[in-house]
Structure 1
Amino acid sequence: MYTQTGLAAGDNGFMKRTLFALLFAGLQLLAGTSQAQPLNLGYVSVQHPTHGMTSFFYPTLAAEAPQRRGPFSLSWAADAPLAPGNGRLIVISHGSGGTPWVHTDLARELVLHGFVVVVPTHAGDNAADNKTPGPESWKKRPAEVSHAIDVTLAMPRFLDKLDPNKVGVFGGSAGGHTALSMTGGIWSPARFRDHCLANIEADFASCMGFTTRLTGGVLDGAKLWLARRTISSRFADETPQAHEDPRVKAVVAMVPFAADFDPASLATPRVPLGLITAAKDVNQVPRFHIEAIKAACLPRCTDLMTLPDAGHGAMLSPMPPFEPGSIAEQLQADPPGFDRAATVPLINKKIAEFFEKNLLNP
């Protein structure tokens, strides 16, 4: 269980946030403005010796400028002053081998709704270091989310500007596994093993990641033998894995890896839980993962969106440039018929509205 220390949530912090908001409103009136200026996207990052880079997106009135991060052409105001928002923090848990950049469009939508957004780098399971994906990473990820909350609340830029007891968490894919852990889900490496041994052919990508695929060729038999042998030897630990951070009050999980959770642990989620399904997901086949969670928790969780034409990559925006013919492209590229331009903004809006509903109300 995560124990919160040194982060006061009492009347003093509330009064400081209230006075900050009132001061900003008063300055607007003195300047003769009738409505707030539109918010832009601010960005700053910090580097930690063991936790790596943590990225922060936040409301600002400063002008944005073009930014380049790897293959991504982005835009934000770097290290700009914070503008008053809604006083709430959202943590985004990226997918396996991920980066903050593939969630920039969601971060922007959340910021335009007034949220501050933090994206931790999950150790051993990110684009720069992908040595320990899967259960080894999943054990550490929830604590990394809690650490990101600690860091954000302690930063001078955000100090006393955020309610420390009303935090949201969004995650997709492996990040969705993290999100489910934050709302009371209990899993174990042995449950991962059992799922994969029973369903290896039907859910091969979930169990083996981007290492290889079944092609219907003569090598499939050898691939299946090696996969079963590797999974059996590596994932025998039956220790239940659980994490609790009482500051987290709302969670959204999109296309999560979820087959290793005890469904009973999510039958009554600890906090409001929204689920987003991509019906054509071939990376985490829905019937083994999100559909099993929905069967356990509905109507005590929210079926936030079911996207009939979407694949696993619908959680990514902007979409990374996949190498043509690569396993990543095969598993995450948009299926024919998916209207990304129309659908992804709607996904982001639904997520922001879910967090508004569940974090802004008393």
Structure 2
Amino acid sequence: MHIDLAKKKSGWHKAAGALVFGLLAACGAHAAVGMTELPPRGEDGPVTLYYPSAAPERPVQLGAFTLALAPDAPPQPGNGRLVVISHGSGGSPVVHSDLARALVQAGFVVALPEHRGDHFGDTRDAGPESWKRRPQEVSRAIDAVAADARFGPLLQVDRVGVYGMSAGGHTALTLAGGHWSPAEFQRQCAAHLDQDFQSCVGLITSLHGNWLDGLKRWVAQAVLRRYFGSDTAWYGHTDPRIAAIVAGVPAAADFDMATLAHPVVPLALVTAPGDQWLHPRFHSDRVLQACAGACVHLANPPGAGHGSLLSPLPPGLTGLEGSLLNDPPGFDRGQMRAVDQQIVGWFQQWLLK
């Protein structure tokens, strides 16, 4: 399929033995990174795959990005395990390609489903409407990869990893056994609108400390009550094939934290102390408090902002989007390579048993 992308309590924190870890890290370490796309199925969008290949890489232009890849190349056997990445709101497969490369070089196949109504080309369902669908989309992406004639024979999908960032982190927490509610989203926003404004309204507007802020608050609360306050259902979805999860800067204010106290699989979090979009106080910190002793705080890179987990970071971001996603001043982006390796190590520990 031609690429078209212009567009788990004790002991969880213990690392695998050094010798075993070294052997696992070497698996697939010299493979080139292939990339291809599985076509849409039903209402689901395409699924982008990164995978080990023996074919040579070449520069590939994907929108504003140039990546070294082996496009549509034949896959070669890796470690036989799959990791699914759930992108954030308005996201794409490209902005997680550095993590995908690190995973492929450790032998994993990496799948990124395009979340319907909440990707770079269409954000009409960003928020709770997309959050309801995303976990099932991850399950169906596993189905699609397992059914593919090229990749199915190379993989065992009884132990799959999931990484999710931002809204994808919300997906990851749901798959870890968390239950959330649109009405809880509205309630949290009613209680903490000013302090967590961008989580509640997204990129539509921001507060500037002037007379218009009162109108913005009124409109935001009215919209949140109308569209989310009446939906008091609690949503959840797990998949027995998923055996380890990492949630990066997750949207989490709308979860019943009791449901995350004992995750159904090994759960790790990557956080960002400078996150101005999903303030840790209302999101990742609450999860870490809820699952203390039953989850792992895998990484908290100093100075990182929300978009620091995107790699590569989209170039030329300006305005509100830029202020929320661009790296904070003085942030050392080079440290994210070590974060990627910590994520790889987490999946090696739990998927390669």
| Common topology (TM > 0.5) | yes
Residue 344 of structure 1, CA deviation: 1.3
- Compare CA radii of gyration and give the structure with the larger one: 1
Residue 43 of structure 1 aligns to a residue in which SS?
Answer: strand
Match of 1:76 in 2: 69
Residue 84 of structure 1, CA deviation: 1.3
Match of 1:9 in 2: none
Match of 2:283 in 1: 289
Match of 2:8 in 1: none
Match of 1:99 in 2: 92
Residue 241 of structure 1 aligns to a residue in which SS?
Answer: coil
Match of 1:205 in 2: 198
Residue 118 of structure 1 aligns to a residue in which SS?
Answer: strand
1:4-49 Cα deviation digits (max 9, x unpaired): xxxxxxxxxxxxxxxxxxxxxxxxxxxxxxx988211001102215
**Aligned counterparts of 2:102 and 2:205: Cα–Cα separation in 1:** 35
Residue 322 of structure 1, CA deviation: 3.6
Residue 162 of structure 1, CA deviation: 1.0
Q: Is the 8 A contact 1:322 1:328 kept in 2?
A: no
Residue 307 of structure 1 aligns to a residue in which SS?
Answer: coil
> Of 339, 342, 345, which aligns to 2:332?
339
Match runs of 1:273-288 below 5 Å: 273-288=267-282
> Of 44, 51, 54, which aligns to 1:51?
44
Residue 160 of structure 1, CA deviation: 2.5
Query: What letter corresponds to residue 261 of structure 2 in structure 1?
Result: A
**Aligned counterparts of 2:257 and 2:163: Cα–Cα separation in 1:** 20
1:169-190 Cα deviation digits (max 9, x unpaired): 0000000000001110000100
RMSD over aligned Cα atoms = 1.2
**Aligned counterparts of 2:123 and 2:312: Cα–Cα separation in 1:** 21
What's the % identity of the aligned pairs?
A: 48
**Aligned counterparts of 1:70 and 1:160: Cα–Cα separation in 2:** 32
- List structure 1 segments (4+ residues) > 2 angstroms apart after TM superposition: none
Q: Is the 8 A contact 1:37 1:61 kept in 2?
A: no
> Of 340, 344, 353, which aligns to 2:345?
353
Alpha-carbon distance change, 36 to 59 in structure 1, aligned in 2, over 3 angstroms: closer
**Aligned counterparts of 2:57 and 2:46: Cα–Cα separation in 1:** 22
Residue 300 of structure 2 aligns to a residue in which SS?
Answer: strand
1:33-69 Cα deviation digits (max 9, x unpaired): xx98821100110221521221000001110011111
Residue 123 of structure 1, CA deviation: 0.5
Alpha-carbon distance change, 109 to 37 in structure 1, aligned in 2, over 3 angstroms: closer
Q: Is the 8 A contact 1:58 1:82 kept in 2?
A: yes
Match of 1:5 in 2: none
Match of 2:175 in 1: 182
**Aligned counterparts of 1:59 and 1:300: Cα–Cα separation in 2:** 33
Alpha-carbon distance change, 89 to 212 in structure 1, aligned in 2, over 3 angstroms: same
Q: Which moved more, 1:176-185 or 1:75-84?
A: 75-84
